[in-house]
Amino acid sequence: MYVEAVVNNHRVEFLLDTGSDITLLNDKIWRQMGAPKLERTNVVVKNASGSEMKIHGKLRCEFEMKGHRTEGYAYVTPYNSLMGLEWIQANEEMMYHMKMMVAQVGVNKGSDVEKELMETFPAVFEEGLGHCTKEKAELILVQGVRPVFRACRPVAHAAMESVDKELDRLLEMGVIMPVTHSEWAAPIVCVRKANGKLRVCADFSTGLNRALQSFDYPLPVPEDIFASLNGGTVFSQIDLSDAYLQIELTEEAKKKVVINTHRGLFQYNRLPFGIKTAPGIFQQIMNKMVSGLRGVATYLDDILVCGRTEQEHKENLIALFRRIEEYGFKLRLEKCIFSKPEIRYLGFIKDRHGRRPNPEKIEAIKGMVEPKNVSQLRAFLGMKDNRWDWSSQHQKAFDGLKAALSSELNLAHYDPRQKIVVAADACDYGIGGVISHRYPDGSEKPIAHASRSLTSAEKNYSQIEKEALALVFTVKKFHKYVFGRRFLLLTDHRPLLAIFGDKKGVPIYSANRLMRWATTLLGYDFDIEYVNTTKFDGSEKPIAHASRSLTSAEKNYSQIEKEALALVFTVKKFHKYVFGRRFLLLTDHRPLLAIFGDKKGVPIYSANRLMRWATTLLGYDFDIEYVNTTKFGHADGLSRLMQKHRSEEEEMVIAAVESDVSSTLRECIRKLPVTHEDVEVCTKRDPVLKKVKACVNTGRWIKGDSKLIAYYNRRETLSVVGNCIMTGERVVIPQELRTKVLKELHVAHPGIVRMKKLARSYVYWPSIDKDCEDVIKRCTRCQESAKSPVKVPLETWPAPTRVWDRIHVDLAGPMHDRYYMVVVDALSKWPEMDEMRTISAGETVKVLKSLFARYGLPQTIVSDNGTQFVSEQFKKMCEEGGISHIRTATYHPQSNGQAERFVEF
């Protein structure tokens, strides 16, 4: 039975469960609420089968059901929202409807060991940033290298306030400090999180990383890690909070780690994310910290503890926590695991019986479905030009090949001493990746595989976004393998080389997703290469495989977004293998090289998803290469033949990107006089945007169509989000809504420059600058209140046909307490000057009439706007004489130049 409740002003559907003591709130809904701060809890939650459920923390919230409002705690979890007995009893009307139990959730207060640790070492669990007191991080430059100073990147007007708040937060924490001068500077990349706040990332790939000497500190091999845990029956896994930021930089290193922002230069005091030598430095400090401790092993920010008995395990934990407290580190409690009979780590399951391979490493291969057509068979075998025919004999052979591929004999054990290659690929409905070792003889063997299907949103991605998604998915999937070491990233989508491969930094003109994904990968040290799929012939020996089907959202990604998703999925899937060492990333989508490959920096005007995914990979050290699709067998096959999951669990990093992108769209539209539905419906009706949307999704643009040129020129920035088109973080407005949007942008009557700046923060269409100018030029109020008249070309007075036809009049003085009237004939230039006792209107009329008595009435009098000339007396004189009176423009004396020049003389 389900009920709807309003929680913190958000409607939430709950599953009723009178057997549960507590209420669970899905973490996606929590993020939609703006991710309010959670309270810590040592509550352990188990489902009906006894399996432990993950809890992020508890949220004090206000909820309303059937008109009854009260307060209570909800426990935030990745699982479905469930209403427990506490909330049900708070509403008397709800008790009437309770007759059925849907699930059983039992609550046990945290283990005695965990509670004792929290009581004995409270400083380790305190909020705030830890500070390592024993060691500092030193950054050594390559000999002879010259400092690199990069200019700050522009910050969108709409994001300025959020960026300032994030910089203030880092200042308050002591992470950064302002400086007035530096020889080094890196730009920043701003990424909007799901709660609407911005995260500021330093893009050190623009220069500093290339200038640093490699810190080849040996990472422990799995054999050594698990050997130190032999004999254990109880295990714990400890996770440090903001691990790198707890390490202080040396004074000399601080001078190199500087960011350039719109507020000036800021120097890092702590070791930031994205420094390529950080993993080795951190591993060295961790090894020193746990040196001499029994039953303890460490791999980067993960610390493993075991004991032969519960008592010994407890003693080992206490010894470790004493050392952690001594070093000044703090932990992330929600990610720590205490007192378990087994743990999963680096592709293995470790328990009292020893270690065994984790079946997840070959799950992608075992889950491959049989091909349904020639194209899918080619993806599996690399065959071509065959007529489609599938029989039971073929099915048997297919099952046999899957068994052979998934055999542990065909998988290599992870060895940090060997070169790592990560390959990722995407198709219309799935992404996949494989992480392999490349040995000195050139052979390769797989370590693990990863794949999944695209969500419905991801299926709408453009092709480059799909390919980028594949890269990010794979890197994040294998995070433990690749983070902290250099690796090679392979892709068969060439455009990704420009985004992920350019070492100058994240490209500033990419679609939002691409920009974010490029930023995601900034923490990894890699090279990226393009590889034709036909060249990916299976000679490499995989370590592991990974694949999944695309979610309903992911199926709407553009092709480049799907390809990028595959990269990110694969890297994150194999994180344990690649993090902390360099690896090679392969892709068969060339455009991804521009986003993920060039370490000049993450493109700050990428498609939303691409930029975010690029950010995800910032912490990895890799090279990326292009591989032609026909030679990209492992990853291509996994992407096309992954098992169709009924309900895909999105990888958290990728899900966060999609939430981030959707949040950006909502934020844009929220400030406009139109709704999401308005933009979506009108986009479907707009003939030009219909073509643009199709081009973005397929990656193929119509040549010769003049209406598409403006969009084609910014194609790398375009993405489809919620059936609307976005360029970077701006929404593209259909033709029929543009007048309404312009009217809203001009409601406060800003000037041309300010209105354009405001428009560029939220919306886009090809003629937006000209349209903004036209609105202001047509606005009467704006023209009346303009600081100065609009300048127009000067025109000469028409030449009169006879003397005294047009005369120019002006007043001069006082000179020696006297005033003078100057009158000049326009044709003969004859001047008349009469002395005046006063310059009143009456005196002016009197002097002019005496001149008219001598020379006759003129047809036209030209004067300025002095009070004498605008008076009723002067007006009456002109009317009686039939004289046309022309007054010159205010503050424009050259209009009456003939009289003015004589006055100056």
- DSSP notation for 357-385: E-GGGGHHHHTPPPP-SHHHHHHHH---S
**What letters, b where the CB count within 10 A reaches 16 and e where it falls short, cover 408-439?**
eebbbbbbbebbbbbbbbbbbbbbbbbbbbbe
Q: What is the pLDDT, as a whole number, of residue 131? A: 94
Number of alpha carbons in the 13 Å side-chain half-sphere of residue 379: 24
Residue 150's contacts (CB-CB under 8 Å, 6 or more residues apart) are: 185, 186, 187, 206, 207, 260, 505, 601
Tell me the C-alpha distance between 905 and 111, whole Å: 101
Residue 836's contacts (CB-CB under 8 Å, 6 or more residues apart) are: 811, 813, 818, 819, 820, 821, 843, 844, 847
Tell me the C-alpha distance between 359 and 345, whole Å: 12
Q: What is the pLDDT, as a whole number, of residue 466? A: 86
Q: Find the mean pLDDT for residues 518-535.
A: 71
Tell me the C-alpha distance between 153 and 768, whole Å: 23
Q: Find the mean pLDDT for residues 701-712.
A: 87
Angular region, 309: left φ>0, alpha ψ -120 to 50, beta rest = beta
Domains of the chain, CATH where assigned = 2-109 (2.40.70.10), 111-356 (3.10.10.10), 358-390+399-674+727-732 (no CATH), 806-904 (3.30.420.10)
**Does residue 17 contact residue 102 with C-beta atoms inside 8 Å?**
yes
Q: In this structure, which long-range contacts are made by residues 118-127, counting pairs with CB atoms below 8 Å and at least 24 apart in sequence? A: 118/42, 118/333, 120/318, 120/321, 121/321, 121/322, 121/324, 121/325, 123/325, 123/330, 124/321, 124/324, 124/325, 124/329, 124/330, 124/331, 125/40, 125/330, 125/331, 125/333, 126/330
Tell me the C-alpha distance between 672 and 373, whole Å: 47
Tell me the C-alpha distance between 721 and 701, whole Å: 19
Mean pLDDT score of the chain: 78
Lowest-confidence range among 256-265, 395-404, 764-773?
395-404
Q: In this structure, are strands 557-558 and 461-462 parallel, antiparallel, or unpaired?
A: parallel
Encode pLDDT of 557-603 as tens digits: 777 778 888 888 888 777 767 766 678 888 877 777 777 765 445 55
Q: Find the mean pLDDT for residues 625-649.
A: 56
Tell me the C-alpha distance between 870 and 866, whole Å: 7
SS3 category, 748: coil
Q: Find the mean pLDDT for residues 196-206.
A: 77
Tell me the C-alpha distance between 642 and 561, whole Å: 18
> Higher pLDDT residue, 207 or 891?
207
**Does residue 29 contact residue 115 with C-beta atoms inside 8 Å?**
no
Tell me the C-alpha distance between 359 and 357, whole Å: 6
Main-chain dihedrals φ then ψ at residue 706, nearest 5 degrees: -65, -30
H helical segments located in 73-125 = 85-89, 92-95, 112-120, 122-125
Q: What is the pLDDT, as a whole number, of residue 183? A: 93
Tell me the C-alpha distance between 9 and 32, whole Å: 11
Q: Is 383 exposed, middle or buried (0-12, 13-18, 19+ CB in 10 A)?
A: exposed
Encode pLDDT of 378-417 as tens digits: 555 543 444 455 566 666 666 655 555 454 445 666 777 7
Helix axis angle for 310-327 and 112-120, nearest 10°, is 30
Encode pLDDT of 86-139 as tens digits: 777 666 555 544 433 333 333 443 467 888 888 899 899 888 899 999 999 999
Q: For residue 244, what is the DSSP state?
A: G
Q: What is the pLDDT, as a whole number, of residue 493? A: 81
SS3 category, 702: coil
SS3 category, 758: helix
Confidence band (pLDDT; 50, 70, 90) for 45? confident
Q: Give the CA distances from residue 713 to residues 510, 511, 566, 681, 716, in Å, rounded to whole numbers and listed in that order.
A: 11, 12, 26, 25, 8
- Token look-up 């419906």 returns 681
pLDDT exceeds 80 at position 873: yes
Q: In this structure, are strands 258-261 and 264-268 parallel, antiparallel, or unpaired?
A: antiparallel
Q: Is 526 exposed, middle or buried (0-12, 13-18, 19+ CB in 10 A)?
A: buried
Confidence band (pLDDT; 50, 70, 90) for 537? very low
Q: What is the pLDDT, as a whole number, of residue 646? A: 34
Bridge partners (DSSP) listed for residue 620: 524
Indicate the helix (H) or strand (E) that contains 512.
helix 512-517
Indicate the helix (H) or strand (E) that contains 324.
helix 310-327
- Token look-up 């047809």 returns 859
Preceding amide of 814 cis, omega within 30? yes
